[in-house]
Amino acid sequence: MADIVRYSPEDRRAVDALYRRVFGHDSADASRLRWDWQYRLNPNNPGGAPVIWIAREGPAIVGQYATMPVRLSLGGREVQGSWGMDVMVAPERQRQGLGEVLFRTWDRNVGASLGLGLSDSSYKLFQKLRWPDVGPIPCLVKPLTRRALRRPEWPVGVNRLVSALTLPVVKIVARTRPLAAEVRMIQRFDDSFTALWEELAPKFPLAIRRDAAYLNWKYVNAPHVRYAIAALRRDDQNVGYAVYRHVHEPRGRVTLLVDFLADPADESGFETLLRWVDREARQADSDKIRTFAMHAGFRRVLKRSGYFVVKSTMEFVAKVNGIEVDRAFYDHTDDWHITLGDSDQDR
């Protein structure tokens, strides 16, 4: 049986080669671009070193479980949380129990083990191991142009008809609305965002701690994408933020609202951030805006602002070890705050 050990820098080449075999060349190249930032520069790394588990058989590396350490806030009480990611077992060694040993080693060593956006095989393994299944994270889309509803699998005529029929609704949904508070673009998150997080943390029974160090690492220093960041301001103070970017997809141009924060009770504040993102999306010529929101309060405001819930494939599993929680904890997730910005979903 394989030994499970912590990754050391000499393993890098063998791990890269395994990654290429399991996930293919494109994903491997993309992963190399992110690797240093994602694993070495995470401000929450305990002891400053990447936390990656390796399955070794003699000189060969046959599996890995890479992680993203985070502070997980449970209504303000923090535990050492960990997103599991880039888990892989060499193809010829799959379905022989190695994955299970890797998952369990990871889980034994963290205050909370978290998985987001899972592949079919890892989702099935989480289910087999009875991790609480609390997803998927609802996906919401706001159409801005009639191209938003196009589907590549439909014939041109059907697409034209659907566009024509839905145009009046899209026009109403996408109309410009005034901003009720000040919004300002920022380049970095200053310490006031740590204070904002500390004030809001008790309102979320589960959320990743969004302090300035984490936010800057995640959204300012990311090497693979460029984000725009808008701060919501009231009485000269930062009271919320939105992180977004514009992407080209085969079906058209999309603005991704990747992460956001505001007091869930401050509905007009969050609405203002959404109106700002609307303007930015229109300016970028986007056909739609897409976001993911677990918090039911934020979802309510999103729907009121013209977003529709669509099918989501972003599965979410979470298991808290660091403090006692009962089974019912996993049944009441309406106030949990998880977005597309969490884990390494926005690649």
Q: Which residues bind ligand COA (CB under 6 A)?
A: 22, 87-89, 94-100, 118-122, 124-125, 128
Instruction: Tell me the CA end-to-end span of the chain in Å, nearest whole number.
Output: 34
Tell me how crowded residue 171 is: count the other CB atoms within 10 A of its CB: 13
Of the pair 87, 200, the CB lying nearest ligand COA is at 87
Of the pair 280, 315, the CB lying nearest ligand COA is at 315
Considering only CA atoms, which of 84, 277, 114 is closest in space to residue 207? 114
CB of 128 to ligand COA, least distance (A): 4
Query: How far apart, in whole angstroms, are the C-alpha atoms of residue 278 and residue 282?
Result: 6
CB of 84 to ligand COA, least distance (A): 8
CB of 29 to ligand COA, least distance (A): 17
CB of 289 to ligand COA, least distance (A): 26
CB of 19 to ligand COA, least distance (A): 10
Residues 6+ apart with CB under 8 A from 256: 244, 245, 246, 247, 289, 290, 291, 340, 346
Of the pair 54, 98, the CB lying nearest ligand COA is at 98
Amino acid at 268: S
Of the pair 115, 264, the CB lying nearest ligand COA is at 115
- Give a three-class secondary structure readout of 245-285: EEEEECCEEEEEEEEEEECCCCHHHHHHHHHHHHHHHHHCC
Tokens standing for 342?
């969490």
* Rounded alpha-carbon distances, angstroms, from residue 323 to 135, 205, 336: 21, 13, 17
Determine the residue with CB nearest ligand COA: 99
Of the pair 89, 254, the CB lying nearest ligand COA is at 89
Of the pair 96, 313, the CB lying nearest ligand COA is at 96
CB of 170 to ligand COA, least distance (A): 35
